[in-house]
Amino acid sequence: MLNAEKRKTLLLLLPVLLVLIGYVLYPSIETILESFKKNGGFSVHNYTDFFGSKAAANLQALWNSVYISLLSVFFSALIGVPLAYIFNRYDFPGRQFFSNIAIMPIVLPSLVGVMAFMFLYGEAGLVPNFIKDVLHLSEVPFSIGGVSGILLVHAYTMYPYFYMTTSSALNNIDPSLEEAAYNLGSSKSKVFWKVTFPLLTPGLVAASLLVFMVSMASFSAPFLLAGGYRVLSLQIYFSKINGDLEMAATQSVILSVVSISFLLFMRWYQGRKDYRMASKGIGAHRSEVNNPLLKWVMVTLGIIAMIILLLPHLTLLILSLVPEGGWTWQTYPQAFSLENFRLLFEDPNIWDPVKNSLIMSVLACAGVFVFGIITSYALVKRSFIGKNLLDILVMIPWALPATVVGMNLILAFNKPSPFSFGQVLVGTFWILPLAYFIRFIPLVVRSTSAVLEQMDDSIEEAAQNLGAKWFYTFRRVVIPIIMPGVLSGTLLAFVQAVGEFPTSVLLYTIGNRPISIEIMNQLRMFNIGQAAAFGMIQVGLIAIVMYIAYKFFGVKTENTL
């Protein structure tokens, strides 16, 4: 017979296992099985097609996806790591303001960011045409598109991952370690490469993983900028809309294998050495920049960087003020008004995508909020057989690209199943909130687990020794302590859900289309102003949530990673 503690553990695990098996494992298995089907029977024909001589497009798309993802990691690190080092190690006028501006790309959803870059740096973009007019050139000096355009957008939108993780790591380094190296005669460059850089490795590995995964799953930039350039996430989408679900499943499995392989490689690389410090000093300190020339050079560079970082946001605002017909064949917009925003509040049909996004994001985040607390507590504070397996199941949605998660749900729930209560979920309102929920489970579990691991077990024991029941202790003692971690993950989940595009484009219906899908529809109809107005609402929603989380709950953006 089970004792009281084992019964509590079992009661915690049952709902967790039910959710993970039903909505993570089962859909993944369905996709794998579908990839081995051909004409109703079992076959490896899909894989021979993928890797065969007739499948040059698929192999090219696979290589392009890996190639772009590796370059995205490189360029994001090239921007994010130096910025973090400068802002965290040197003090100069405006440093705090510039460091806050440095994370602004995080509030720009992927589709909205790509749209802003198109109208900013594309062939008909404001910047190339402005330079052309000023210099009296016969044609624009440059325009983004193809691989260069994708990499530019990726570097801009993904470098904050490196910036925030590196900033956090730098602030946790014991300064006495570097001081000891200086006292032993080491130069600044040697101290950086031999002492500082190795201690940054865990943060750099985490950021590399995140950027690689996001880039492999990238859909918006290739969708709008690639032209004829193929990537695997797009191939999955094209296979799905062409009705070839078997090949879409095969492509999903291949993309998953590549992403998970990179995850395992980076975890192996990180585990080769021990990065713990034996002591903790007084905290990182910044050096005052005393050279007047260097000081103002840094301020000038900070202002230039600020302008470059804010240009996409400003472009989005300008476009949102262009009424229908206000910018067609002309080089620059010809008229500005609030017509696009007025329509949003006067026409209920135009407001529907905003309402849908809010409802679905709130539903998904409420789910991951509750599920994240229960799962994290079970993983960190309870002992049971198969804990590592449960941890792997929790992390699968993080390792899988968004297009793969979407295909998994299509193949699992396009027919009745026990996990859908005998209903077909594909084509209903509920499939998108479910997709968002699954996608963002790891965000809340990771952030909550980090706080739980720091909580001393004696706190719970003391409450129970004073007569408190377990549930009362959990509700009144544990949850208030871990709430910052839970809110951090939930905040990031909401920010991602409001701007989610890859899973939405695979699963949406007319009745539940979110903002990102409506932006795509408006762009297809060349209604630029209305698309930008929806984009501004997306950015506004994200900014409001982040402000509320920081102001009232003390959750900082850098703590959400």
For 304-334, what is each residue's pLDDT tens digit? 888 888 888 888 888 888 887 767 667 777 7
560 — pLDDT class (breaks 50, 70, 90): very low
How far is Cα 392 from Cα 55, in angstroms, rounded to an integer? 32
pTM value?
0.81
Most confident of 329-333, 441-445, 450-454, 456-460: 441-445
Residues 6+ apart with CB under 8 A from 38: 45, 46, 246
pLDDT over 90 for what percent of the chain?
4
The stretches of 414-501 forming alpha helices (DSSP H) are 431-454, 457-465, 470-473, 479-498
Q: What's the pLDDT at 176?
A: 65
Per residue in 465-482, pLDDT tens? Answer: 777 676 777 777 777 777
R_g (Cα) of the chain, nearest Å: 25
Residue 22 pLDDT greater than 80, yes or no: yes
The stretches of 455-478 forming alpha helices (DSSP H) are 457-465, 470-473
Identify the weakest region by mean pLDDT among 72-86, 92-106, 421-435: 92-106
How far is Cα 181 from Cα 185, in angstroms, rounded to an integer? 7
Q: What's the pLDDT at 286?
A: 58
Q: Is 288 helix (H, G, I), strand (E, B) or coil?
A: strand
Q: What's the pLDDT at 290?
A: 63
What is the SS3 assignment for 159-207?
A: HHHHHHHHHHHHHHCCHHHHHHHHHCCCCHHHHHHHHHHHHHHHHHHHH
Q: What's the pLDDT at 367?
A: 92
436 — pLDDT class (breaks 50, 70, 90): very high
Q: What's the pLDDT at 435?
A: 92
Supply the mean pLDDT for the chain.
Answer: 79
**What average pLDDT does this structure show over 362-385?**
86
Per residue in 197-242, pLDDT tens? Answer: 777 777 777 778 778 878 887 888 888 887 777 788 888 888 888 8
Identify the weakest region by mean pLDDT among 106-110, 448-452, 548-552: 548-552
Residue 271 pLDDT greater than 70, yes or no: no
Per residue in 48-95, pLDDT tens? Answer: 877 775 567 778 888 888 888 889 999 999 988 888 888 877 777 777
Assigned token pair, 318: 């300008």
How far is Cα 335 from Cα 324, in angstroms, rounded to an integer? 9
Per residue in 120-176, pLDDT tens? Answer: 888 777 888 888 888 888 888 888 877 888 888 888 888 888 888 787 777 766 666
Q: What's the pLDDT at 1?
A: 45
Helix pair angle (348-381, 479-498), 10° resolution: 140
pLDDT over 70 for what percent of the chain?
85
- The residue ranking higher by pLDDT, 98 or 280, is 98
Q: What's the pLDDT at 405?
A: 87
552 — pLDDT class (breaks 50, 70, 90): low
Q: What's the pLDDT at 225?
A: 80
Per residue in 24-49, pLDDT tens? Answer: 888 888 888 888 887 777 777 778 87
Backbone angles phi, psi at 67, to 5 degrees: -60, -50
Per residue in 184-195, pLDDT tens? Answer: 666 667 777 666
